[in-house]
């Protein structure tokens, strides 16, 4: 218990882990050793019984740094297919640019590897069905990397909503604000970036062909040829969390607006996007991503119900309840004193005053994750548990497609300048 600060939630990484037998180790490889890929690998290796044996990347400097981080005996290559040929690799982390997710993930599953694929799962809508079908036919485990669905905070929020803590849900408001150059994807380009150190043709893959461009190579999120903009990078987290907590499969109607307000550096994706989404369960989702916020980075969701609100902010979830009055109230001030007295007398006979002030007290409760808690660790822990047990993961390809498909509706709406429709059951644009 935290007393006035809230209730402390239990976290699995604080629990003692039994030693893992040598023959039960899971050997993994990393495909795409950029910022997210290296971060994912650090989290994955904290899970007992996991060993990194190979890394693939299109930049020689990241291959060299991978050896600095994880040992000179690490196998490194520019061509991830050489990794997939190895029999000693059980699973791969796919942390490539978005336009490579489908190809790398399906190639890995067909090669008999389980896959942890970074979000958004898809770059194009056509990617989704192929990834789902490949997972089904190969019987491989694939987990999509929106780690919020493994968070103790989001699990508690799901429990609270299901218990009726805020009554009937009618609206979700979600945001992700940034105000820094790095937050706006202006990642540092290494001094040795060239066609000698970077495998530009391999990086381009299915994207339109052009001359080598170091900014596109190292800051790829800024171009729709390789990334999915703020929708694919950040909207998708907010959708994943909303879908996990509510149990919804996704919206049926979407509209979005925004634009390039500040970072006019050659990128072709917006730095501000707002979206409105209608859900068949009877609630609306309002999303905002702003890369010109004027303050510190923040992320949060507010669930508004008929009897209260639930807010996820940082490492906590809090509920504030103010139930609707059971009585309708009255407006009698414009009538004569005698009439006011008669109405009030009849009113109190019908609606006895339960609370002295005429309304129930506001209730509040808060739940907090332990200091240092990491939902990324829990997400990898869940993934490797599924790799061992062959039981379903918490975020499979269907869940991942529904979250990314919903997020990319924002891009589609902006491109068309119109309302767009989506069928979350068939996962198709209507």
pLDDT on residue 5:
59
Whether the per-residue pLDDT at 22 is higher than 80: the answer is no
Mean pLDDT, residues 367-390: 97
Arithmetic mean of pLDDT over the chain: 94
User: Quick one: residue 21, left, alpha or beta (phi over 0 = left, psi -120 to 50 = alpha)?
Assistant: beta
Q: Do the domain assignments include residue 54?
A: yes
pLDDT at 381 over 70: yes
**Is residue 66 assigned to a domain?**
yes
Cβ contact 184:297 at 8 Å: no
Contact 36, 220 (CB under 8 A): no
Within-domain flag for 345: no
* 220 located within any domain: no
pLDDT band at 325 (very low <50, low <70, confident <90, very high): confident
Q: What is the pLDDT of residue 311?
A: 98
Both tokens assigned to 6: 């809230």
Residue 362, pLDDT score:
67
DSSP string, 161-210: HHTTTTSSEEEEEEEEE--STTTTT-PPPPTT-STTTB-HHHHHTTSPP-
pLDDT of residue 10: 85
Helix or strand or coil: residue 142? strand
Q: Does the pLDDT value for residue 3 go beyond 60?
A: no
**How far lies 225's CA from each of 216, 351, 400, in Å?**
9, 64, 21
Predicted confidence (pLDDT) at residue 4 exceeds the cutoff of 60: no
Distance separating alpha carbons of residues 170 and 414, to the nearest angstrom? 25
CATH code assigned at 23: 3.40.50.720
- In a domain, residue 120? The reply is yes
Backbone torsions φ then ψ of 49, nearest 5 degrees: 85, 25
* Domain assignment of residue 298, yes or no: no
Q: For residue 260, give both structure tokens.
A: 């390039």
Q: Is 96's pLDDT higher than 80?
A: yes
Q: What confidence tier does 323 reach under pLDDT thresholds 50, 70, 90?
A: confident
In this prediction, residue 16 carries a pLDDT of 44
Q: What pTM value is reported for the model?
A: 0.92
Digit-coded pLDDT (tens) for 328-345? 889 999 999 999 999 999
The tokens 């849900």 sit on which residue? Answer: 169
- Location of structure tokens 């040992």: 71
Q: How large is the average pLDDT for residues 238-253?
A: 98
CA distance 48 to 363: 41
Q: Domain total for the chain?
A: 1
> pLDDT per residue over 195-241, tens digit each?
999 999 999 999 999 999 999 999 999 999 999 999 999 999 999 99
Cβ-count burial 315-350 (b if 16+ within 10 Å, e if not): bbbbbebeeeeeeeeeeeeeeeeeeeeeeeeebeee
Decide if 190 is inside a domain. Answer: no
17 HSE (CA, 13 A, CB side): 13
Residue 117 has pLDDT above 90, yes or no: yes
Rounded to 10 deg, the angle between the 375-389 and 35-44 helix axes is 70
pLDDT tier for residue 352 given thresholds of 50, 70 and 90: confident
At residue 12 the predicted structure's pLDDT band, cuts being 50, 70 and 90, is: low
Q: Range of 91's domain? A: 3-148
Q: What mean pLDDT do residues 67-89 have? A: 98
Cβ-contact 143, 394 below 8 angstroms: yes
Q: Tell me the C-alpha distance between 319 and 322, whole Å.
A: 10
CB of 241 closer than 8 Å to CB of 149 = yes
Token output for 50: 């996991």
Residue 322's pLDDT is what?
Answer: 82
Domain assignment present for 19: yes
């Amino acid at each position: 218990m935290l007393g006035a600060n809230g209730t402390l939630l239990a976290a699995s990484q604080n629990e003692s882990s039994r030693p893992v037998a040598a023959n039960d180790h899971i050997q993994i490889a990393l495909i795409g050793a950029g910022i997210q890929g290296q971060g994912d690998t650090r989290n994955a290796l904290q899970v007992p019984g996991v060993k990194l044996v190979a890394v693939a990347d299109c930049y020689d400097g990241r291959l060299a740094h991978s050896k600095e981080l994880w040992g000179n005996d690490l196998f490194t290559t520019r061509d991830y297919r050489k990794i997939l040929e190895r029999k000693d690799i059980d699973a791969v982390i796919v942390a490539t640019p978005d336009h490579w997710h489908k190809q790398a993930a399906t190639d890995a599953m067909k090669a008999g590897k389980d896959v942890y694929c970074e979000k958004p799962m898809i770059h194009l809508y056509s990617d989704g069905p192929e990834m789902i079908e490949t997972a089904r036919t190969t019987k491989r485990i694939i987990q999509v990397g929106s780690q919020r669905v493994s968070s103790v905070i989001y699990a508690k929020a799901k429990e609270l909503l299901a218990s009726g803590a805020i009554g009937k849900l009618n609206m979700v408001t979600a945001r992700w604000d940034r105000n820094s150059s790095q937050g706006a994807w202006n990642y540092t380009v290494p001094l040795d970036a060239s066609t000698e150190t970077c495998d530009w043709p391999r990086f381009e893959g299915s994207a339109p062909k052009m001359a080598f461009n170091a900014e596109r190579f190292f800051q790829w999120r800024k171009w729709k040829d390789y990334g999915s903009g703020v929708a694919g990078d950040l909207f998708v987290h907010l959708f994943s969390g909303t879908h996990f907590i509510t149990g919804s499969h996704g919206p049926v109607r979407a509209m979005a607006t925004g634009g390039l307000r500040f970072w006019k550096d050659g990128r072709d994706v917006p730095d501000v996007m707002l979206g409105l989404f209608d859900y068949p369960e009877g609630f609306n989702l309002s999303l905002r991503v702003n890369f010109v916020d004027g303050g510190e980075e923040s992320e949060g969701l507010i669930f508004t119900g008929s009897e209260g609100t639930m807010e996820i902010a940082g490492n906590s979830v809090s509920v504030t309840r103010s139930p609707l009055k059971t009585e309708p109230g009255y407006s009698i001030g414009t009538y004569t004193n005698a009439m006011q007295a008669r109405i009030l007398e009849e009113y109190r006979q019908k609606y006895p005053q339960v609370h002295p002030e005429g309304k129930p007290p506001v209730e509040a409760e808060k739940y907090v994750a332990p200091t240092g808690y990491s939902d990324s660790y829990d997400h990898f822990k869940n993934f490797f548990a599924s790799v061992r047990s062959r039981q379903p993961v918490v975020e499979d390809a269907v869940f991942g497609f529904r979250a990314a498909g919903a997020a990319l509706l924002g891009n589609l709406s902006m491109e068309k300048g119109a309302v767009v429709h989506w069928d979350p059951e068939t996962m198709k644009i209507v």
